[in-house]
């Protein structure tokens, strides 16, 4: 999967590729789906959510430009798979999940695998997690109408944030935001994607945005922008 479906499609960071090789994706899946763990596709987990496509996890992690030892915030824990990838690189990972059932399950899985540097929080991810801030990097695994101001405030100077942003819960642009001054942020468009909606005070306002599985899967729609 990593050689043919991730590295061959443009992910070049050895740090990220090595992290993917270390994390057993099957252990983050329901037992009846573990045989599909190394297909490069999203798969359903509890609470009508999904575990993200490995390529998009790798791509977003690479976009954070991590060197090792950083403090990272993840919004949207889900199964905990992406948090484990981050934990293989970063010093400390804070991951926020709004669905209690998922937060509890992910925490159990991560602790069983020995990830002592991952801190799972059950809260509104659109507000970030101020107790762990400031962060060297923030990754958001859900699409919002804008980048939440709370998340931008929690970035260190020079910190990077990667998030799907769009006016529709069904379609977003993956963007990278870099904090270059107290109130100044550089923005880069990476590619078109489709993620589950970021629900919360600074995201989509309600849980009314529920889609069929075809619209609930993080997936690439176009090739990366040059």
Which pair of structure tokens corresponds to residue 42?
Answer: 């999203």
Per-position DSSP letters for 87-106, written without gaps between them: HTTSSEEEEEES-HHHHHHH
Taking a C-beta distance cutoff of 8 angstroms, is the pair 106, 79 a contact? Answer: yes
Taking a C-beta distance cutoff of 8 angstroms, is the pair 68, 89 a contact? Answer: yes
Active site residue 52: yes
The answer as to whether 179 is a domain residue is yes
The answer as to whether 206 is a domain residue is yes
- In which band, very low, low, confident or very high, does the pLDDT at 206 lie, cut at 50, 70 and 90? low
For residue 109, is pLDDT > 80? Answer: yes
As a whole number, mean pLDDT of residues 129-146 equals 97
The answer as to whether 226 is a domain residue is no
Query: How far is Cα 224 from Cα 193, in angstroms, rounded to an integer?
Result: 10
The answer as to whether 225 is a domain residue is no
The answer as to whether 57 is a domain residue is yes
Alpha helices, DSSP H, located in the chain: 14-22, 54-63, 81-87, 100-112, 149-153, 213-216
As a whole number, mean pLDDT of residues 160-171 equals 89
Q: What is the pLDDT of residues 170-204, one digit of tens each?
A: 789 999 999 999 999 999 999 999 888 999 999 99
The answer as to whether 73 is a domain residue is yes
The interaxial angle of helices 54-63 and 14-22, nearest 10 deg, is 140
Q: Which of 13, 52, 79, 150 is catalytic?
A: 52
- How many domains is the chain partitioned into structurally? 1
Domain extent for 166: 2-220
Could you tell me the CATH number of the domain that includes residue 91? 3.40.50.150
- In which band, very low, low, confident or very high, does the pLDDT at 79 lie, cut at 50, 70 and 90? very high
The percent of residues in the chain predicted with pLDDT above 90, rounded, is: 85
């Amino acid at each position: 999967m990593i050689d043919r479906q991730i590295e061959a499609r443009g992910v070049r960071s050895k740090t990220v590729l090595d992290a993917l090789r270390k994390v057993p994706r099957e252990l983050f899946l329901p037992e009846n789906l573990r045989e599909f763990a190394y297909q490069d596709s999203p798969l359903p987990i509890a609470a009508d959510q999904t575990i993200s496509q490995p390529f998009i996890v790798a791509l977003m992690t690479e976009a954070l430009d991590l060197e090792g030892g950083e403090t990272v915030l993840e919004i949207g824990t889900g199964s905990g798979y992406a948090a484990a990838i981050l934990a293989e690189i970063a010093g400390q990972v804070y991951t926020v999940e709004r669905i209690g059932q998922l937060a509890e399950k992910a925490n159990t899985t991560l602790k069983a695998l020995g990830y002592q540097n991952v801190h799972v929080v059950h809260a509104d991810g659109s507000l970030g997690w101020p107790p762990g801030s400031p962060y060297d990097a923030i990754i958001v695994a859900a699409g919002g109408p804008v980048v939440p101001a709370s998340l931008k405030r929690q970035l260190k100077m020079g910190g990077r944030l990667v998030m799907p942003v769009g006016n529709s819960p069904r379609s977003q642009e993956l963007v990278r935001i870099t904090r270059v001054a107290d109130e100044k942020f550089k923005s880069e468009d990476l590619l078109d994607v489709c993620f589950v909606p970021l629900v919360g005070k600074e995201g989509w306002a309600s849980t009314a945005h529920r889609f069929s599985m075809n619209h609930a899967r993080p997936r690439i729609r176009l090739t990366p922008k040059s």
